[in-house]
Structure 1
Amino acid sequence: MTTHLALLRGINVSGHKLIKMEDLRRCLEGVGFLNVRTYIQSGNVFVSSDEHDANKVANQIREAIQQSFGYEVPVLIIGKEDLQACLERNRFLDEEGVDLKKLYVSFISTEVPDQMVTQLNLNFIEPDKIQLDGRRIYLKYHSSPANTKLDNKWIEKSMNVISTTRNWNTVNTLLKMFQQ
């Protein structure tokens, strides 16, 4: 039995694609997932399954949501080791006096080469900063994510990926939940 963390993109945001977490848990249990747990309303779902292939699990979840709620929702599966690496490899944490409330992580659908940063128009997102790390992008906002051009739409368009973003506190909490 493998535990998977599914990150759903774009549910319960600004009144769009509303899904109650209780209904989502029932939906996923109904298609055979076990130990379904959610964290907050933004689409963080742990499921256990005999299926080890992350892409197959993502497709099962995506299809179940489409069938039950009628929404096309991108689903990214994150493993425990990837989440642990995420917490260990964020170089913004090395900066003196870094404000953890301004740190976020975008999980992306495919790995982006490090040299892609040189091809991006980073002037567009300044004074916000990014760091690429495989299938993660660490974000450090100058003020807040509400006042930035560095959002999922920019990441997806600039890098041709699917992206879903979580704040640093949520990432830490999800790892703790993985370890339970």
Structure 2
Amino acid sequence: MRFALNHIATPKLSLADFLGLARRLGMPAIEIRNDLPDVVGTMPAGAVRAAAVASGVDILSINALYPFNVWSGDVPARALALVDYAQACGARALVMCPLNDGTPVPHGDLVAALRELVPILRQYGITGLVEPLGFPVSSLRTKREAIEAIREAGASDVCKLVHDTFHHHL
């Protein structure tokens, strides 16, 4: 099993210090974020790529497109921007989190959102990581529903499942 370090574990570290920590811990890969700490919104993708290459640490993913399963408003534009950034910084995947405020999202909307994401992910060569959150207020709680939606959307070649042990522990 290969492990990666999520930047949320040390949110006050700069990207350079975080990369150094990952290397010292023997972690070959990291996940950067667009929230806390906001690497995506504060650093050019080329600088992130250069720092990762210099440190010898891979960027596995960016966390996260939220709420990916509500394909309206600014979500399509943010999806495109995040996938573009992921490709430019050298990340291989984009974590996609469902609406998590107690509002139900119909299964058909989840499938429709994935169908919209598929061509974007394919065009940029980025994997979409669907993350059922497990929380009672999450609109996508179970891995079973996520897997069914990925299959129904014809997204199995570009979408995978994330199991976040922290969320499920809570």
Give the TM-score of the pair, scaled to structure 1: 0.29
Higher RCO, 1 vs 2 (CA within 8 Å, ≥6 residues apart): 1
The structure number with the bigger radius of gyration is 1
Give the TM-score of the pair, scaled to structure 2: 0.31
